[in-house]
Amino acid sequence: MTDWRDTMNELVRNRERALLGYAYVVCGDPTQAQDLVQDALVRTFSKPRPGLTAAKAEGYVRRAITSVYIDGYRRSQRWQRVQHLFKPAETTRDEFGQVEAGSDVAEALATLPPRVRACVVLRYFDDLTVPAIASTLGIAAGTVKRYLSDGLSQLELALGTFEDASLRNAAPSPAADAAAPRSSEGQ
Amino acid sequence: MVKLSDALRGAADRAPLDGVSVSTHAAARRVSVNRGMRGAATGIVGVTAIGVIAFGIIGPNGFSSSSDAEFATDAAAEVAPSQPDLPAVAGDAGAGAAGSQLAWGVCGQATDPDAARGETGVAIHVGSLPAAEPGALLPVSVTGTALTTENLYTTDPGALILWNGIVVGSLPQEAILTFGPADEQIVNPDVEPIKESLTEGDTFGYDLDVPLQNCWDSKDLPAGNYELLVTQEYFEFADSGTANGEEPTLDDGASAVPGQTPNIVGGFRAAADAAAFTISGTPIDDPFGEYLLVPAQPIEPPIDSTP
């Protein structure tokens, strides 16, 4: 058995639930979370990375989960641009949904558009800085700030004011920067 | 007042994931295929870009639409992820490229070394190769001669290992071009292009260590006779200062800025003659039979006599 297989098995054996939970927060659907983790593992381990440990691999896989999720969204957007040529257009869910006060955070997240949700998760789950999020998702830092602001406003409608909401405009944290693995996934 | 970070982590902990699991077996098989295809995928992207660009910009037909390159590369790049969870089957890899010559150099595919060549500004040559032990690195000295005077960008050469003309191993050349988040073509930020300021007649050299491993699952190539086909792609960039409608210039200032959209004005792939080499040991019968599966015979559709 090759090293990368050992690393992958160790990672999944020890961190499967955490990775699936993270993917669920990103996408809001258990089945899609399963696919995201699977695709993220494939994406991470398809590139030879000498010396990659399971701990380091987890960082890559987490970044790949958001990348795969956004890539899938982009592909669906490309399809949506031409699907009217093949069938009547369906309503695209790229608008903020309705949120009822007191709803669960998962339900509230589900009302956010994919890119906004990804930004919120990367900022508040992974503690990434705005520049790191921009790099990971391949969008401008200003766009990230706007998504975070919009997303937080929407979430606060449902869940109330967040104690850490002031972080939306916080300066980048050196610790978070250091912790953020450099995204080298194909985007 | 709650912290959003805590709420998110709580949501992850409470995620309804009963019965949901990750199959490392399936993932590992896809990784194996992709690693085998990696050379091919990189090659496809690079070859697609260089092929279309070279033939489009400096080729005989003279078309220069970058959208063709983007379309072809996009299509080719999406071949690899769509590979089934099966060992790479001869014919699989190139199928996504619609049987065009863009599928050149795919793992498990027969490859015509002559097809590697475009109209080049550089000639490269590989000297005689030593016999090698299984699993060793094959040392290769590549020498090049400039056939033109240009400032060109490249990376270390890549190589294909051929067995009976079929690609069974590869050392991919790092791709100078890749695609950005908006699917735009950019200079690959993960590589450091080599700028060659060439004057016709200049000679230069590269040393490669080619791993003698197959391109499916990275197992050591078995004993036998093989050929090594070394190729190297070159790009010519112009200054991008055309905001005022000025023509791009080709002076020394033209550069490849990582992560930026390059102003490509030319490119080609140089290919050396295939060089024979031997992996020592006792050859085995049908060394790649388990990889080079014969596709099932196509089923003839029934003849429908109705008009």
Classify B265 as helix, strand or coil.
strand
What's the mean per-residue pLDDT of chain A?
76
Pairing relationship of beta strands B263-271 and B137-146 according to DSSP bridges: unpaired
How far away is chain A from the Cα of B216, in angstroms, using its nearest Cα?
12
The answer to whether A33 touches A24, Cβ cutoff 8 Å, is: yes
Interchain CB distance below 8 Å, B5 and A21: no
B contacts of A121 (beta carbons < 8 Å): 8
Quick one: average pLDDT of A54-73?
Answer: 86
Q: Is B11 on the interface with A (CB under 8 A)?
A: yes
Rounded to an integer, what distance in angstroms lies between the CA atom of residue A108 and that of residue A155? 6
B257: tokens are 């800025």
Instruction: Band the pLDDT of A47: cuts 50, 70, 90.
Output: confident
Best mutation target among B2, B24, B190, B260 (most A Cβ atoms within 10 Å) is: B24
How far away is chain A from the Cα of B148, in angstroms, using its nearest Cα?
34
Beta bridge partners of B163: B166
Residue B239, CB-side half-sphere exposure with 13 Å CA sphere: 13
Best mutation target among B4, B21, B24 (most A Cβ atoms within 10 Å) is: B4
Rounded to an integer, what distance in angstroms lies between the CA atom of residue B81 and that of residue B41? 10
**A26 → chain B, closest CA residue:** B12
Q: What does the DSSP 8-state code read for residue B252?
A: T
**A77 → chain B, closest CA residue:** B182
Interchain CB distance below 8 Å, B27 and A31: no
The answer to whether B116 touches B271, Cβ cutoff 8 Å, is: yes
Detail the DSSP E strand segments found in chain B: 122-126, 137-146, 150-154, 158-163, 166-171, 177-179, 185-187, 194-198, 203-211, 224-238, 263-271, 275-279
Rounded to an integer, what distance in angstroms lies between the CA atom of residue B202 and that of residue B204? 7
Q: Is B15 on the interface with A (CB under 8 A)?
A: yes
pTM of the predicted model, to two decimals?
0.43
pLDDT for residue A18: 94
pLDDT for residue B179: 75
**B36 → chain A, closest CA residue:** A46
pLDDT for residue A173: 43
Quick one: average pLDDT of A16-31?
Answer: 92
Instruction: Band the pLDDT of A67: cuts 50, 70, 90.
Output: confident
Q: Is A26 on the interface with B (CB under 8 A)?
A: no
CB-nearest to B3 from A18, A137, A162 is A162
Classify A162 as helix, strand or coil.
strand
Q: Is B269 on the interface with A (CB under 8 A)?
A: no
Rounded to an integer, what distance in angstroms lies between the CA atom of residue B133 and that of residue B220? 10
Better pLDDT: A13 or B58: A13
pLDDT for residue B255: 66
B contacts of A159 (beta carbons < 8 Å): 2, 4, 7
Closest to B134 (Cα-Cα) out of B277, B15, B289, B12: B277
pLDDT for residue B70: 33
Query: Residue B37 is which amino acid?
Result: M
* CA A184 to the chain's CA centroid: 15
Give the H/E segment covering residue A122: helix A114-124
Q: Is A4 on the interface with B (CB under 8 A)?
A: yes
pLDDT for residue B275: 92
* DSSP-assigned letters across all residues of A22-53: HHHHHHS-HHHHHHHHHHHHHHHHHS--TT--
Better pLDDT: A95 or A184: A95
Interchain CB distance below 8 Å, A8 and B23: no
Classify B41 as helix, strand or coil.
helix
Residue B254, CB-side half-sphere exposure with 13 Å CA sphere: 23
Give the H/E segment covering residue B102: none
Best mutation target among A105, A121, A136, A157 (most B Cβ atoms within 10 Å) is: A105
Classify B162 as helix, strand or coil.
strand
How far away is chain A from the Cα of B36, in angstroms, using its nearest Cα?
9
B44: tokens are 């496809």
pLDDT tens track, chain B, 307 positions: 778 888 899 889 888 988 888 888 888 878 877 666 544 444 444 444 444 443 333 333 332 333 333 333 333 333 333 332 222 222 233 222 222 233 457 788 777 666 555 567 888 999 889 999 998 899 999 998 888 887 888 888 899 999 988 889 988 888 888 777 666 678 888 887 888 888 888 888 888 899 999 988 888 999 999 999 998 888 887 754 444 444 444 444 456 777 777 777 777 788 888 899 999 999 888 888 878 765 444 445 555 545 4
How far away is chain B from the Cα of A123, in angstroms, using its nearest Cα?
8
pLDDT for residue A96: 57
Q: Is A137 on the interface with B (CB under 8 A)?
A: yes
Interchain CB distance below 8 Å, B3 and A163: yes
Rounded to an integer, what distance in angstroms lies between the CA atom of residue B36 and that of residue B58? 32
Closest to A7 (Cα-Cα) out of A51, A43, A40, A47: A51
Better pLDDT: A53 or B62: A53
pLDDT for residue B140: 92
The answer to whether B275 touches B285, Cβ cutoff 8 Å, is: no
* CA A109 to the chain's CA centroid: 12
Task: State the alpha helices, DSSP H only, in chain B.
Answer: 4-13, 24-53, 66-77, 92-95
A18: tokens are 């955490």
Question: A117-146 pLDDT, tens per residue?
Answer: 999 999 999 888 888 888 887 778 888 898
Rounded to an integer, what distance in angstroms lies between the CA atom of residue B9 and that of residue B13? 6
A41: tokens are 């593992």
Q: Which of residues 72-131 of A touch B (CB under 8 A)?
A: 74, 104-106, 109, 120-121, 124-125, 127
B contacts of A34 (beta carbons < 8 Å): 20-22
A19: tokens are 């990775």
Q: What does the DSSP 8-state code read for residue B213?
A: B
Task: Tell me the ipTM for this assembly.
Answer: 0.74
